[in-house]
Amino acid sequence: MLPKNTRRSLPMSLLRGREAVMSRFRPMLARHNVSEQQWRVLRVLAEAGPLDASDVCERASILAPSLTRIIKTLVERQFITVGKFKDDGRRVQLSIAPPGSALIEELQPERQAIYDEIEARFGPERIEQLLDLLEALIHSQNGLGEPASAEDADA
């Protein structure tokens, strides 16, 4: 059956849930003039080393046109560097630069504190349950509506 009201629907609840969590982190990011998405790009590059733009898009859940803009501002602020691959002139290699790493390290304690408070209020077990459910949800809906890539077939 359809969700009767607007409040108990998957899209709305996921939106509100995300907002509830992000509202904790937003002030920290704002103080350092970094957007949510810029921060995700920095973290991905810090975690997974140099990557091409497509990989960053997928890992940070950012669309390519957005990433193009983000790259521009992060390079201007010297948080990342860009280079081209020798064997493929189309691809761009993104790497985190020292100021970028420094920012991540600087914010680490505050991130920790915020995450701890969220966990304390919601409960560590429920966080795990929620993450498991979300992962299952994502996988359950994978590769529908899209032209279906090769991997999804019956491998």
- For binding to a second copy (CB under 8 A), which residues are involved? 2-3, 5-8, 10-25, 27, 36, 40, 43-44, 47, 59-61, 108, 111-112, 115, 117-118, 121-123, 126-127, 129-131, 133-138, 140-142, 144-145
Closer to a second copy by CB, 60 or 71: give it.
60
H or E element in which residue 55 lies: helix 53-60
Closer to DNA by CB, 33 or 125: give it.
33
Q: Report d(CA 140, CA 147) in Å as an integer.
A: 17
Assigned token pair, 43: 């973290």
Kind of pairing between the strands at 51-52 and 80-84: unpaired
Instruction: Give the Cβ contact number of residue 44 at 10 Å.
Output: 21
The residues pairing with 83 across neighbouring beta strands, listed in sequence order, are 93
Residue 11 binding DNA, by CB under 7 A: no
Residue count at the site for DNA (CB under 7 A)?
28
What is the three-class DSSP state of 143?
Answer: coil
How crowded is the C-beta side of 62, counted as CA atoms within 13 Å?
A: 24
Closer to a second copy by CB, 36 or 152: give it.
36
x/- string (CB under 7 A) for DNA, residues 68-107? xxxx-x-------------xxxxxx---------------
Q: Would you tell me which residues interact with DNA (CB under 7 A)?
A: 19, 22, 26, 30, 35-38, 52-54, 62-71, 73, 87-92
